[in-house]
Amino acid sequence: MKSTFEKMGGTYTLGADGIYYPNLVSTDEEPHYGKYGMMRKTYLKEHRPAMYSLYMLEDRLTEHLNTVDDEAQERMDILVRQMMERQGITEELKACDQMEWVRAVNGIRNMAEEIVLKELVYI
């Protein structure tokens, strides 16, 4: 008679001590998410508990958070670059008036982050 573990495709290895040990392999994706992944996790916990539980039960939470964080970082880079081009924020401005350049870039980053949060994190 097969054990439930064997019915699910699991295997055992005979140890030197004569005991069979299950061959366990972790299928978890390594977490590498950062700021946006953590914000998504908090949002899911507080505002979408059913979705959070589903991701946990299906063992897909880390994968989902990694994906959201990667997409958010990529979207931020694209938006900041595009907004800087449209507003004419260049290295020349940085060389001439550093404080004005910092003010402009901070404003752009804030606008881009609002877009990313609305589009990818808080949905």
Structurally, how many domains does the chain consist of?
1
Whether residue 4 lies inside any domain: the answer is no
Whether residue 7 lies inside any domain: the answer is no
Helix 35-47, helix 61-87: angle, nearest 10: 120
**Residue pLDDT, tens place only, 71-91:** 999 999 999 999 999 999 999
Q: What is the pLDDT confidence band of residue 27, given thresholds at 50, 70 and 90?
A: low
Q: How close are the terminal C-alpha atoms of the chain, in Å?
A: 48
**Residue pLDDT, tens place only, 37-68:** 999 999 999 999 999 999 998 889 999 999 99
Whether residue 85 lies inside any domain: the answer is yes
Whether residue 107 lies inside any domain: the answer is yes
Q: What is the pLDDT confidence band of residue 28, given thresholds at 50, 70 and 90?
A: low
Whether residue 84 lies inside any domain: the answer is yes
Whether residue 44 lies inside any domain: the answer is yes
81 or 18: which carries more pLDDT confidence? 81
Whether residue 36 lies inside any domain: the answer is yes
Q: What pLDDT sits at residue 50?
A: 96
Residues spanned by the domain of 72: 28-119
Whether residue 108 lies inside any domain: the answer is yes
27 or 75: which carries more pLDDT confidence? 75
- Residue 30 falls in which region: left (phi positive, over 0), alpha (psi -120 to 50) or beta: beta
